[in-house]
């Protein structure tokens, strides 16, 4: 009999792919949702179950409510904790980002402690927990970021999303060290792209593509660099981390680093003259003057525009055995699906 795996955030962009892969392998998957009454999300999960060999169980739980994960964790063999807010549009960084990320992690890991059954936890973190501003690499005298590095430059006021990820991950490692019942493996994906399993996704990745092809940045884009990875590879990495006994520590996931203009050029090559894509890369001094147009404060522009970025992904390849999807394929599959869903 296959093990019972509890998955938080199982209706989200990454989580759905993880659930699909787990069910496809015959696991019993316990998905926690905030509201069982959201029929479209529940039906989606059930439809995935119907086409698989696994068994789906749905539990209601809230990241901010202590004890609500206890029932789902009881009897589970492992937990994949994906649920955490990813949005760059928020009113209160503590209420909207930091509390759900940190308190949610504490509540889930405490549920594992109470379960008496959980032996392994896979935590979805981010490269945002590895570094904050792009200039960090230069300031630290690094040639690349590795799993050894932790973000020390973000705060509640500056890059609060990044701060929420590093704070939550550090809390997870702290709780791990205080017990000896379960192992902890952390997945640190870069900017996740690729096709979605639901038209209801509100991922920042989808928003970025919609804005790029929709002409928001037609006059030009800042020189911003990001690591990118396919959502299907991220899901696969979670499964590898779950199943491989020697998986340990953190795993940076990145297929490549690309600039905003580089991403635009890939779309332009795939779809010549199809979309209203950026015409040029905007000089930093112009971005500083017009930062409000891009919704970015002066400090962010100063510390992120125009700086190189590099990650080392060898650990994910050599220890997890991950084979990365080529980024052009990721973007093509994503754009094609968004066209089919009439999102662009």
Query: Taking a C-beta distance cutoff of 8 angstroms, is the pair 133, 304 a contact?
Result: yes
Distance CA 119, CA 243 (A): 12
SS3 50: helix
Which residue from 262, 289, 279 is spatially nearest to 219, judged by alpha carbons? 279
156 is catalytic: no
Choose the catalytic residue: 165, 281, 303, 332. 165
Query: Taking a C-beta distance cutoff of 8 angstroms, is the pair 227, 127 a contact?
Result: yes
Which residue from 267, 131, 122 is spatially nearest to 190, judged by alpha carbons? 131
Within 8 A by CB and 6+ apart from 136, the residues are 142, 151, 152, 153
Within 8 A by CB and 6+ apart from 202, the residues are 87
Which residue from 52, 62, 61 is spatially nearest to 29, judged by alpha carbons? 52
- For the annotated catalytic residues, the residue numbers are 165
């Amino acid at each position: 009999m296959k093990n019972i795996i509890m998955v938080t955030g199982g209706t989200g962009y990454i989580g759905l792919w993880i659930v699909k892969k787990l069910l496809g392998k015959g696991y019993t998957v316990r998905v926690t949702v905030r509201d069982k009454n959201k029929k479209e999300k529940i039906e989606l999960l059930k439809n995935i179950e119907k086409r698989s060999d696994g068994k789906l169980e749905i539990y209601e739980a809230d990241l901010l409510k202590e004890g609500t994960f206890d029932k789902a964790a009881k009897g589970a063999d492992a937990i994949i904790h994906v649920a955490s807010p990813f949005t760059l549009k928020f009113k209160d960084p503590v209420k909207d980002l930091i509390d759900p990320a940190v308190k949610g992690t504490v509540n889930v890991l405490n549920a594992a402690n109470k379960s008496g059954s959980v032996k392994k936890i896979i935590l979805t973190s981010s490269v945002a927990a590895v570094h904050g501003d792009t200039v960090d690499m230069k300031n630290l005298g690094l040639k690349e970021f590795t799993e050894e590095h932790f973000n020390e430059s973000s705060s509640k006021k500056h890059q609060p999303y990044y701060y929420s990820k590093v704070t939550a991950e550090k809390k997870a490692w702290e709780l791990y060290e205080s017990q000896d019942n379960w192992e902890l493996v952390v997945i640190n994906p870069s900017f996740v792209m690729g096709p979605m399993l639901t038209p209801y996704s509100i991922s920042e990745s989808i928003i970025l593509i919609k804005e790029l092809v929709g002409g928001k940045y037609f006059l030009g884009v800042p020189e911003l660099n990001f690591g990118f990875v396919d959502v299907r590879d991220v899901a696969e990495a979670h499964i590898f981390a779950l199943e491989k006994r020697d998986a340990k520590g953190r795993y940076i996931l990145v297929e490549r680093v690309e600039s905003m203009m580089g991403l635009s050029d890939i779309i332009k090559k795939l779809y010549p003259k199809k979309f209203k894509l950026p015409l040029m890369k905007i000089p930093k001094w112009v971005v500083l003057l017009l930062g409000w147009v891009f919704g970015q404060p002066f400090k962010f522009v100063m510390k992120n525009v125009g700086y190189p970025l590099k990650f080392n992904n060898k650990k994910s390849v050599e220890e997890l055995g991950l084979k990365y999807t080529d980024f052009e394929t990721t973007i093509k599959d994503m754009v094609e699906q968004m066209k089919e869903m009439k999102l662009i």
